[in-house]
Structure formats: C-alpha cells, structure tokens
Amino acid sequence: MNNRGYFGELWFGAKSLLIGLNVTIKELFRPIVTVQYPREECEITPNYRGHVELVFNTETGGCDCIVCGMCAKACPSDCLVVKGEKKEGEKRKSLTLFSLDFTKCSLCGSCVETCPKGALDYSQDYNIAGFTREEFHYDLIERLERRHQQPLAAAAGGN
Amino acid sequence: MPPELLRMIIAAVLVVAFVFLNAMILGYMERKVSAHIQRRPGLMEVGPHGVLQLIVDGLKLIGKQLVVPEGSNKFLFRLAPVLSFAPCVLPFVVLPFARKLQIVSMDISLIFILAMTSINVIAILVAGWASNNKYSLFGTFRSVAQAVSYEIPMLLSILSIILITSTFSLQGIIAAQKYYWFILIQPLAFIIYFISGLAETNRAPFDMPEAESELTAGFHTEYSGMGFSFFFLAEYANMFTVCSIATVLFLGGWKGIPLPLGDYTGIFWFMLKVYGLLFVMIWVRWTYPRVRFDQLMTFCWKYLIPFSLANLLITAVLVKLI
C-alpha cells in the first residue's frame, strides 16, 4: 500500500472509479465507428495499392500501353503476360492480351514504376475474395472494358 | 380444482416464463450496451437491430448435446444446473411487483429470498466438484470464498434497513418508505449492498469465478447445451433478484408517480427501477477491469465489513434515540 493511508486510499479509489464510469457513459452515446463490412463498404484512400490495373485514357478512349513489355520484365514474380500484334496500316503494335496472375503477385509495384507511358496504376478494388485460383487470373483489358462499359476498339495501343 | 392451486400453477408458469424473458432482455441489453460503450453497433443481423438474436441463441443451446465428461460424477454433474436454476426462480414468487401483484405475501419474504439466493453457491460447488476439471474446481473455490465473504456486508447493510422498518415483509418495507426513499437516509448501506450484490452474482469486476483469461469459464467449463444455459439463466435471474431487493429496500419498490389502476400498474415503476439498476451493473461491468483475488478479499474485509458495521451501529443508535 502506498502512503495515502486507509481513508486516502478509499477516497482516491472511489474518485477514480467515478471518473471511469464517466468515460464509459460518454462513449455510450457517441456515434459508432465500426463499419458493417458486407453491408457497408469503406471509402478507400487514393493511395491504396491494390493489384495493377490499366489506366483509361479519356482522350483516346483506350489505354496507353505500347506493348513494350517492360512491366513483364520488371515483375519479380513473373505474373504479367503482355502480348500485342501489329495491325495493317498502323505504326505500332496494339495490345491484344494483358493478363495478371494475382495469385503470384507480391504487390511490389515495380511494373507501375517501370511503365514508360504511365499506363498502369493500382486498383482500388479490395473485395477480391474467390473460391478458385482461376478467379485471380485477371484479364486486365477485359476489366478495363467492364469498368468503362465500352470496348476499347481501335484506339487500343495509343496514337 | 381448488382456486388456490390454480392460482399457484398460473403463477409458477408466469414466473418461469418471466425468468426466461428476463434472461433474453438482459442478454440483449448486455450485448448492446457493451457494444455501444466500445462504439460498435452490436447485434444487427437477426431481426431489426438483432432483437431476435437471443431467441436464436436459445434454440441453438436447446439443440446442443449435453456432454458429460469422462471421470465426472455423473449424477452430481447433471444435478448441478437444476440445483442452480430452481432456487433462482423461487425469489420471484415473493417479489412485490406492485401493491397487488405479489404471488405469495410472506412476513419473512426478505429472509426467504436471501436464503434462496445463497443456495446458488452450493450449485456452483456441486458443478465445479462434479466436473473433475481443474478450471472448474478453481472457479468453484473462488466463487465459494467470494460468496461467503460478501454475504456478510450484504446482510449487515440490509439489517440497517430492517432496524428502521422492523419488518422482513417486502410490502411492509415499501410501505415504510411513505415520504422518502431509504436511499436518502441510508446511502452508505445502498452502496455497500450494491457492491456486495455485484460480488454475489459473480459480476465484473468481481467475476473471479468465471475469469475467462485464466480459468476458461470457471465452474461451468464442462457444461454445454441446456446445462450451460441453466447457469446462464440463473445468473441473470440472480441479477434481477439482487436489483429488485435493492429497489424494494432503497428505492421505494413499486412507488412512483401514480398511474391509473395503481395497485397493478406499479409494476411499471418497479421494472423501471430494477432495469435501471441492472443497466448500472452492465455499465460497471464494461468499465472496470477484473480485480485480483487478494484485492477482492481485502476490499470486503477491510472496507465493506467495517463500514457496514459502523453504519449499522449508527443506525441502531439513531433508531433508539428517535
């Protein structure tokens, strides 16, 4: 026992107990801070680093990828596959396949950093639970089309 | 069928139904209050704001198998939940819910209630002993030591009310609080009674017998299904009994602002006061950490008992003088 003495201890204890009760009764009437997850969803901050996603270029209506393959080379886990073909009368290759095997991705972000055209960015999508591993083999072109409700058409490949 | 027997059967059914209902209300209240104190929404899934959750929980418990562990005393193991539950129902028989809403009016109803709530200790002892499990046994040791110690300040604080009213009848005590509630002249007795009540019902911060972090669940570690739910019901019924005695002794029982049919609608004020006190119990539980066992005993023997004795002595002198 410390030097407060019998009654000092009693007084000190009773006072601190009342302070404790005051804290909890105040918390009782303050708003709820938890999110009911499947019913509600959190706002994601812009710096959230999900898996990679192709960036939509509003001017061209497609993506800026030039099929240089830098991202696939930079990837330490070999989870990106980029393919393109040169169509008749075009200067550059146009993108035909951009697939991400998210089961292997370590979210390092090397692909986003190496892309010379800034065509890759992090996704904001965090609701990515699935039942099979094939669900995590993303076709990023299809995801981009789905996000913008329109086929990328001839504009793909950029300028 | 004689009318008195019919009345008793109806009363018995109502009382048991109320014990179940009370456990559901308190279970819901406890989980909601604890959630909001921690700034969570709590039960939200079953029914609007989760009001049906406790019914679902109850059905789940009824559906579960009662596992009797090997090496346990099978007869005592099965007896203990019933032994815990039955005496907890009996105090409801003499509780004065309103002027005319009392099943049996006894002159010694207060002693009857105190005797019945004490039997719960034996049920805990039997449960812990029969389980043949170290956690159960340790929980039992603590529970018995605690209940025996805290019975003393509890009875001493009640005794100082009895000295004023000189009756053990609950209706008589309520009638004695004609002009003022006894909490005004016996605030210390009320505080001591309430603290001892928390300890008697094994509520936090005195929930040593059920200390989850060290004893799994204490004396009911081995119980599943209805065995567990009988202990659960008994705990909530005991909480209700303790709070209703506090209401009768210190807060004027069913007295309040008069309502139409006052002889029966006094139950509204009674329930309001009881559930107010129960809210305080829940509030206390979610505020304080559990005390250590030596602190528990120190607090009882060094603070509560001397103070309640002094209070009793002063009350006795004042009653003699006035």
Mean pLDDT by 10 residues, chain B (322 residues): 83 87 88 88 82 86 82 83 85 83 81 86 84 83 83 89 85 82 85 88 76 71 81 86 89 79 79 90 87 83 89 88 82
The pLDDT assigned to B211 comes to 65
In a domain, B173, yes or no: yes
Which DSSP letter does residue B209 get? G
Using beta carbons and an 8 Å cutoff, which residues of B are at the interface with A? Answer: 33, 36-41, 44, 283-284, 286-288, 302-303
Contacts of A25 in chain B (CB under 8 A): 283
In a domain, B3, yes or no: no
Here the ipTM equals: 0.72
> How far is the C-alpha of B36 from the C-alpha of B38, rounded, in Å?
5
Distance to chain B for A119, nearest Cα, Å: 41
Q: What count of CB pairs under 8 Å joins A to B?
A: 35
Length of chain A: 159
In a domain, B52, yes or no: no
> How far is the C-alpha of A53 from the C-alpha of B242, rounded, in Å?
63
In a domain, B255, yes or no: yes
Nearest-Cα residue of chain B relative to residue A20: B287
Structural domain including B227 reads: 68-321
The pLDDT assigned to A153 comes to 53
Is the distance from CB of A83 to CB of A68 less than 8 angstroms? no
> How far is the C-alpha of A144 from the C-alpha of A140, rounded, in Å?
6
**Close Cβ partners of B180 (under 8 Å, ≥ 6 residues apart):** none
In a domain, B92, yes or no: yes
In a domain, B51, yes or no: no
Distance to chain A for B96, nearest Cα, Å: 31
Helix B187-200 × helix B225-250 angle, to 10°: 170
Nearest-Cα residue of chain B relative to residue A13: B299
pLDDT band at A155 (very low <50, low <70, confident <90, very high): very low
- From the number of C-beta atoms within 10 Å of its C-beta (0-12, 13-18, 19+), residue B132 rates as middle
pLDDT band at A152 (very low <50, low <70, confident <90, very high): low
Q: Domain total for chain B?
A: 1
Question: What tokens does B41 get?
Answer: 């929404």
Domain A52-155 belongs in CATH node 3.30.390.50: no
* pTM recorded for the entire structure: 0.79
Least confident of A10-14, A133-137, B103-107: B103-107
